[in-house]
Amino acid sequence: MSTLTTKDGTRLFYKDWGPRDSQPIVFHHGWPLSSDDWGNQMLFFLGHGYRVIAHDRRGHGRSDQTDTGNEMDTYAADVAELAEALDLKDAVHIGHSTGGGEVIRYVARSTPGRVAKAVLLGAVPPIMLATERYPGGLPMSVFDGFRDALSKNRAQLFLDVPSGPFYGFNRDGAEVSEGLIRNWWRQGMMGGAKAHFDCIAAFSETDFTEDLQAVSLPVLLMHGEDDQVVPIEASAHIAIELLPNGILKTYPGLSHGMFATHPDIINADLLAFIKAGDSRVSAVEDNPHERRFELPVEGSHEVAAAYYRVDGDRIVLTHTIVPESFSGQGLGSKLAYGTFEMIRASGRKAVLLCPFMAAYYARHPEYADIVAPESPHD
């Protein structure tokens, strides 16, 4: 079991799957759940060749049941320690509900180069609680009710929430999944009651306005229009106005837990956002004997390059060079993605003599239409 011990001695459980040289995607779960909530998405993106990571927030899941530090600043600091320990570069951070708050607070304070993009899914920012600044939020009595129910009978609360509003199973005609309900309960009961109690204030009373305004990286907001837990009018509709580089995508009829009830829809949109504008690869043909696709290394004069020759209507990829000092940071995968997209745009077929490109293709069968199985004629 992989764990990280933070500076204050808290052990955080995490999962880290996939090629270490691929672009990392980091998933942040909601209250009162664990990294297990992202099982579908982690397998989906692993299948597309990404490195996928998720941790159990302190006090949740298999991480230590902390009685202190159960607030958003510490949550974000924990993520920063995990990113540093795993040396994550150009990561995409995806957060659901409370996890969305964790993401935007972390990204706003992150070291340059650690983060490429962020996704807030059914997320709590800018703030759930009704305040003078945001009068459309929920009254304190709602969150006091959660605290009271948790204190009296946490096990029953953790059945009532997923059986009712979380997945929209309380709506007429809803297709109820007993498995989702039981899995929600299982995840919740793994965590600590004190941490869950404290986290109610963390997700409801934290104001993320300045965090949203500070993030210039691309941020996708995804929100179900029938979200009964985090009403869209008081969250995504306001957050999009605060983000300098935000995109809002809403889903009619879908619930707070839409990534679990409709993973086919959500996964496809996540993949499209992650891939969009991903390629800064350009073709360099200044030497007909050494043509190459180049990807500049940000903050450096160096480039990663995929060398090729042209054989009729085929582009023969021969070898790839990634600067050794940037090995293991996902640069090769970005180069490969851009290279395949450039070949697709050219209308030619790719011949994969380069072992790295062949390995990338093995993880990305969606390029089958542009890969020629035969070798070139010399």
> Residue 156 and residue 160: Cα distance in Å, rounded?
6
Structure tokens at 34: 């664990």
Say if CB 189 and CB 154 are below 8 A apart: yes
CA distance linking residue 210 with residue 230, whole number of Å = 20
Cα(200)–Cα(97) distance, integer angstroms:
12
Sign of the dihedral defined by the CA atoms of residues 200, 205, 211, 212, in that order: positive
Closest CA to 304 of 274, 278, 338, 277: 338
Q: Which residues pair with 303 in a beta bridge?
A: 296
Active site residues: 97, 227, 256
Q: What is the DSSP string of 242-265?
A: H-TTEEEEEETT--TTHHHH-HHH
Cβ atoms within 10 A of the Cβ of 176, count? 14
Are the C-beta atoms of 184 and 96 separated by less than 8 Å?
no
SS3 67: coil
Do 351 and 374 meet the contact criterion of CB atoms below 8 Å apart? yes
Cα–Cα distance measured from residue 285 to residue 293, given in angstroms and rounded to the nearest whole number: 9
Contacts of residue 6, defined as CB under 8 A and 6 or more positions apart, other chains included, come to: 12, 58, 77, 78, 81
Measured CA to CA, the distance from residue 76 to residue 80 in angstroms comes to 6
For residues 119 and 219, what is the distance between their CA atoms, to the nearest angstrom? Answer: 6
DSSP 138: B
Q: Classify the phi-psi angles of 102: left when phi > 0, otherwise alpha if psi is within -120 to 50, otherwise beta.
A: alpha
Helices (H), 224-354: 236-242, 258-261, 263-275, 331-346
